[in-house]
Amino acid sequence: MISVLGGYDVAQVLDVLIDALVVGLVVGLVFVFMQEPAWFGFVVTTRWLALKGRLPWRTHRFLDDAHRLGLLRTAGAVYQFRHAELQDHLAHTEQN
Q: pLDDT digit of tens for each residue in the chain (96 aa)?
A: 455 666 777 788 889 999 999 999 999 888 877 777 787 788 889 999 999 998 999 988 999 999 999 999 988 888 899 888 888 888 875 554
pLDDT at 5: 60
pLDDT at 73: 92
pLDDT at 39: 79
Hey, what amino acid is at 4? V
Please, what sign has the CA dihedral across residues 85, 91, 93, 95?
negative
Tens digits of residue pLDDT in 13-33 = 889 999 999 999 999 888 877
CA 11 to the chain's CA centroid: 34
Q: Which residues contact 67 (CB under 8 A, 6 or more apart)?
A: 73, 74, 79
Give dist(CA 67, CA 44) in Å, integer.
Answer: 24
SS3 15: helix
